[in-house]
Amino acid sequence: MELPISRHAFTGGESVVDYLEAYEVDLFLTTNVKDAQRVIDENGCATAIVKPPPTTKGKIPKGQVRIAFDGDAVLFDESSEIVYKTEGLTEFHRQEDAAQDISMKDGPYALLLRKLATLQDRLPFSVEFSPVRIAIVTARNAPAEMRVVKTLRHWGVYVDELFFLGGMDKTKVLEAFRPHIYFDDQDLHLKKISETYPAGKVPYKTDSQLKDK
> Where in the sequence numbering do the catalytic residues fall?
70
Distance from C-alpha of 86 to C-alpha of 68, rounded to nearest angstrom:
27
Distance from C-alpha of 137 to C-alpha of 174, rounded to nearest angstrom:
8
Distance from C-alpha of 213 to C-alpha of 210, rounded to nearest angstrom:
5
Smallest Cα–Cα separation from 36: which of 50, 47, 27, 45? 47
SS3 category, 76: strand
Q: In sequence order, which residues have a C-beta less than 8 Å from that of residue 196 and are 6 or more positions away?
A: 54, 55, 56, 57, 58, 175
